Amino acid sequence: MRIIFFIFLMIGVSVTLSAQVESDEIEGSVTFVTAQNVYVKFASAKKIKPGDKIFVRKNNVLVPVLVVDYSSSISCVGKLTGDQKLKEGDKVIALIIIDKSESKREQENRRVEAIPVSDEVMGKSVKDSTKTGQVRKQDVRGRLQFSSYSNLSNLAGTESHRLRYTMSLDVLNVADSRLSFESYVSFTHKLNDWAPIKADIFNGLKIYDLNLKYEIGKSTAIWVGRKINPKVASLGAIDGIQFESAGKYFYFGVVAGMRPDYTDYGFNSKLPEYGVYLGQTLENKNGMMQTSVAVFEQTNAGNTDRRYAYFQHDNSLLNNVNLFVSSEVDLYKVVNGLPVNGYTLTSLYASLNFRITKRLSIMGSYDNRKNVIYYETFKNYVDQLLEDASRQGVQVRINYRPINYMNIGVSSSYRLRDKDFLPTKNVNGYLSYGKMPLGITASLSGNLIQTSYVNGSVYGIRLDKSLMSGKMNWGLNYRYVDYQFVSNSNTLQQHIGEADLSVQVTRKFSLSVNYEGTFEKVNKYHSIYFSAIKRF
């Protein structure tokens, strides 16, 4: 009730404010994720430019997570700006701002035309440039990143420092040919702790992408090596051969290879997998509809580990409406030691976004996912997994922009897991205003949570500021946590402070640092994240 009262109070205050700037939130969804890039689809991405930031709501505050590298009419692709992780189906936000005091000519003069995303980048087959009249040209792109994670506290033996080095190198049309190369590799280790690396190099070395692509024809290509296929991203990385052919409205593909080792992500020839997928793509002036179906068999040492079908539907053909549905059905199980073919719904996720007006939007989602059982890989745990733990959750979110630069949102979620004697209930509220003195964006948030083991609340305030035409950004965040544990009379109060700074030193070199401190009555925890990125 305190959050709701505060939100309505701020709505009343907002009607006295005015601005000469028109801003707009455009909501999109992550269509698939590779180790190197994140791909996002919007109903319209025509106003999103390379260099723009994409946000998520973290503690009900807009926090930048992506920087756009390429954009098309309905999609964009970018790279993560920090340590935030995104997965397929996550909702993100692009903030479009237009200064109404500028003339149309001034707006046109300052507009940076978007670099169109190639069909390959957005997960479609690349057309044969020799048949479209275009000349193939080699294009080399790379990225080097150094990151450090330090955790400190007043507790003995808890200090840790982790270093991470990543490198990506993409060569499109090697020597102006049909051949392309893609790679993304990382190496992680703890400071002065090399024992795990000496025991197994893959405890630190992770190869996410390392493959060659050859364009056979107009819309047909073959990949060899390790690659995450965006059409069947739920499979993760695949070591082997992938083939895909596409027409104007339909596409199909074949995959045959191995899964990476489940212990260290290295190569494991005992984990073969194979399958097929097909799909349909339609577009109109409002957006796109893409439907895909896949069937896969995963084995371990020649025995069936998992056999399942995958379905995904993404639809934005209706104006201001986006529907996303993803589901998996297992087709195989072992009962009393005997293999049985059947149908078991393993995963179901659905979300519906409806932009009622330019300033008001509503989103609802349903999540029902169960444990996936690999009968050979984890056969020692099958009896436990057969209990089939699952979670069911419903979420509703409303976003409202009463005036330019002001955003208000309320969300509520309900989730019930097997064996929980009480469901998890969560209510969030936030208010942000981007026209504070000195150009600061201020955000207030509140979170009330009730579960079977804890009841509590979290309140926060965040300040963000851009300098040097967006080349430098800083942020300050404070949260107060107050939890009451159900099983006893213990309470937990925390004061959490956060500060972050990012600097675009040159067009291809950037630095960022983040500090977070958690202060309890007795214990104190500190974490520091640093990152340096060089693109070439």
- In degrees and rounded to multiples of 5, residue 42 shows phi and psi of -120, 160
381-400 burial by CB neighbour count: b if 16+ within 10 A, else e?
Answer: eeeebeeeebebbebebebb
Three-class SS state of 108: helix
Cα separation, 68 vs 51, in Å, equals 5
Measure CA 160 to chain center.
27
Query: What are the start and end residues of each CATH 2.40.10.230 domain in the chain?
Result: 22-123
What's the confidence (pLDDT) of residue 140?
93
**What's the burial of 66, exposed, middle or buried (CB within 10 Å: 0-12/13-18/19+)?**
buried
Tokens matching residue 419: 């064996």
Residue type, 188: T
Measure CA 186 to chain center.
19
What's the confidence (pLDDT) of residue 61?
55
Cα separation, 265 vs 474, in Å, equals 36
Tokens matching residue 229: 């296929």
Cα separation, 246 vs 253, in Å, equals 9
What's the confidence (pLDDT) of residue 41?
77
Please work out, in degrees rounded to the nearest 5, the angle formed at the alpha carbon of residue 155 by the alpha carbons of 153 and 158: 70
H or E, element range at 496: strand 491-506
What's the confidence (pLDDT) of residue 218?
82
Cα separation, 41 vs 122, in Å, equals 9
CA nearest 391: which of 407, 414, 367? 367
**What's the burial of 199, exposed, middle or buried (CB within 10 Å: 0-12/13-18/19+)?**
exposed
The dotted CATH code for 22-123 is: 2.40.10.230
What's the confidence (pLDDT) of residue 95?
73
401 vs 15, 33, 346, 412, CA distance in Å?
11, 30, 38, 18
Q: Which DSSP category does 202 fall into?
A: G
The residue assigned the tokens 């028109």 is: 22
Query: What are the start and end residues of each CATH 2.40.160.10 domain in the chain?
Result: 1-19+403-536
Tokens matching residue 396: 């509703």
* Contacts made by residues 217-224, CB under 8 angstroms, sequence distance 24+: 217/128, 218/127, 218/128, 218/131, 219/125, 219/126, 219/127, 219/128, 219/245, 219/246, 219/247, 219/251, 220/125, 220/244, 220/245, 220/246, 221/125, 221/126
Radius of gyration of the chain, Cα coordinates, nearest whole angstrom: 25
What is the topology classification, in CATH, of domain 1-19+403-536?
Answer: Porin (2.40.160)
Task: Count CB-CB contacts under 10 A for residue 370.
Answer: 19
Per-residue pLDDT of the chain (536 residues; tens, 9 = 90+): 443 433 333 334 333 333 333 445 677 778 767 656 788 877 667 677 766 778 787 655 566 788 777 676 677 777 776 556 777 767 788 876 444 333 333 333 333 333 333 333 333 333 344 444 457 889 999 999 999 999 999 888 788 999 999 999 999 999 999 999 999 999 999 998 999 999 999 999 999 899 999 999 888 999 999 998 878 877 888 999 999 999 989 999 999 999 999 888 999 999 999 999 999 988 888 888 889 999 999 999 999 999 999 998 989 888 889 898 989 999 998 887 788 888 889 989 899 999 999 899 999 999 888 888 888 888 777 666 666 677 789 999 999 999 988 999 999 999 887 777 788 999 999 999 988 998 899 999 999 999 888 899 999 999 999 888 888 999 999 999 999 988 787 899 999 999 999 999 998 999 999 999 999 999 999 999 999 999 98
325 vs 38, 95, 310, 312, 353, CA distance in Å?
19, 25, 11, 6, 12
Cα separation, 443 vs 433, in Å, equals 6
